Chain A
């Protein structure tokens, strides 16, 4: 049973920040409620004030600029991202990610901001945005700040958001030349949350053969999505080979810090990390190489 609360609807960012500031002793923000209502129904979250930002239209946008890259407002739904021709052209990996995220019904109402702020280590957008070197813009009534996605997630269902703050937008810089970004999750039932997920961004040198830069992110393998930095180091400067992929897979499964749960044992998760890393690095590498020719 959901406990009673006082419902307050914001129509603008300013209204939202004011309402939060006025009720900061006991409030919760709701956007699409796809994650929050589950917790409220279980009685795990029972706020005195529920501040609704779903209708804050000024945060419902997708914009692209050659210099700044892509900006997605917090109240933009998953489905809007999925169906955006702009996103398909500039960041196709996001369309692929969305098509495999939950059901159409969930994507129709759930938002990008809500997904990130929920802080689920098995969420899809987090790892992909991290591989894309993304940042988030956050505001409270007092101040606005911008952080990288790498800094955003802290622990299971915990982010850096402080009391009084809301997420305004995600920023993704333009994808550099000779770069491909790919993402895949392993699950038993299609579109379920991943048991393990891997996002990989590979940038090649001018020669089209060796790796100039790599950003490798693993989801559902730790209390928050993690950058596999040792694996990245191992790839940078090297040419692709079966041996290199093998080593990358091994390194990444050492870097992961998974737990056992009803979906998989710790051992199985580590194994999956190795499998997916090999697959994703190879795929990104090949796609990047195709751009050089």
Chain B
């Protein structure tokens, strides 16, 4: 089957690739671009470990054909920090131990990042809604929720540490 051109911007970097149209976005990110921070869990659309931000909205990269993202802008977990400077959410995840095995962490971070971009002061209920699809097999939900909450309380604003 013929390969087709795919033009995507991932974490502000432009890529032109040739792929088979059946390739899923998660495969292109991990296998073609080496961005293995995006995790493939169930590969059936259920666990949301593979969450990335596509054109400003979270999607499951295992449930989107890469070719459908043509022309799009993608943010993966690798694109959150600028250099060594972690985002407030990333710092808060570290401080609150909001990960155990870490498999769900990148998806959680992207869901929470998208949530805070839409609503900078979510209630605990809204935080739960925001990460609702993201499963954590280690069931560390409480610390994840606390980590997001701490950011909304301004504890990680620039200069506060």
Residues of A within 8 A of B (CB): 2-7, 9, 30, 33-34, 37-38, 41, 50, 52, 54, 79, 99, 102-106, 108-109, 190-191
A72 to B110, CA, bound (A): 29
In contact, A106 and B22 (Cβ under 8 angstroms):
no
Tier of interface size on chain B? 20 to 34
Binds A, one of B9-17, B54-62, B79-87, B95-103: B54-62
Please, could you name 20 A-B residue pairs with CB atoms under 8 Å apart, sorted by A?
A: A2-B24, A4-B22, A30-B65, A30-B68, A33-B68, A37-B24, A37-B45, A52-B65, A99-B129, A103-B48, A104-B58, A104-B111, A104-B129, A104-B132, A105-B60, A105-B111, A109-B54, A190-B132, A191-B132, A191-B133
Q: How many contacting A-B pairs (Cβ < 8 A)?
A: 78
Does residue B20 face the partner (Cβ distance < 8 Å to A)?
yes
In contact, B60 and A106 (Cβ under 8 angstroms):
yes
A50 to B64, CA, bound (A): 14
Q: CB within 8 A of A50: which of B21, B24, B132, B134?
A: B21
Known: A4-B22, A190-B132. A37 touches B59 (CB 8 A): no
Tell me how far the C-beta of B112 lies from the nearest C-beta in chain A, rounded to whole angstroms: 11
A50 to B1, CA, bound (A): 13
Residues of B within 8 A of A103 (CB): 48, 132-134
A38 to B111, CA, bound (A): 22
A105 to B20, CA, bound (A): 24
A99 to B128, CA, bound (A): 13
Q: Mark B129-159, 1 if CB is under 8 A from A, else 0.
A: 1101110000000000000000000000000
In contact, A34 and B63 (Cβ under 8 angstroms):
yes
A7 to B4, CA, bound (A): 9
Q: CB within 8 A of A38: which of B45, B51, B58, B68?
A: B45
Tell me how far the C-beta of A174 lies from the nearest C-beta in chain B, rounded to whole angstroms: 30
A198 to B98, CA, bound (A): 38
Does residue B44 face the partner (Cβ distance < 8 Å to A)?
yes
Does residue B8 face the partner (Cβ distance < 8 Å to A)?
no
**In terms of DSSP, what is the predominant structure of the interface of chain A?**
mixed
Does residue B108 face the partner (Cβ distance < 8 Å to A)?
no
Residues of A within 8 A of B63 (CB): 33-34, 37-38, 105-106, 109
Tell me how far the C-beta of A193 lies from the nearest C-beta in chain B, rounded to whole angstroms: 12
Does residue B29 face the partner (Cβ distance < 8 Å to A)?
no
Does residue B77 face the partner (Cβ distance < 8 Å to A)?
no
Does residue B109 face the partner (Cβ distance < 8 Å to A)?
no
Q: Mark B34-76, 1 if CB is under 8 A from A, else 0.
A: 0000000001110010010010011110011101100000000
In contact, B130 and A34 (Cβ under 8 angstroms):
no
Most buried by B among A2, A54, A105: A105
In contact, A105 and B51 (Cβ under 8 angstroms):
yes
Tell me how far the C-beta of B25 lies from the nearest C-beta in chain A, rounded to whole angstroms: 10
Known: A103-B133, A104-B130. A7 touches B67 (CB 8 A): yes
Residues of A within 8 A of B130 (CB): 104
A99 to B132, CA, bound (A): 11
Tell me how far the C-beta of A61 lies from the nearest C-beta in chain B, rounded to whole angstroms: 18
Chain B residue, CB-CB nearest to A110 = B63
Tell me how far the C-beta of A273 lies from the nearest C-beta in chain B, rounded to whole angstroms: 27
* Given A38-B45, A105-B58, 11 other A-B residues pairs in contact with their CB atoms under 8 A: A6-B2, A9-B67, A33-B64, A37-B24, A37-B45, A37-B65, A104-B114, A104-B132, A105-B51, A108-B57, A109-B60
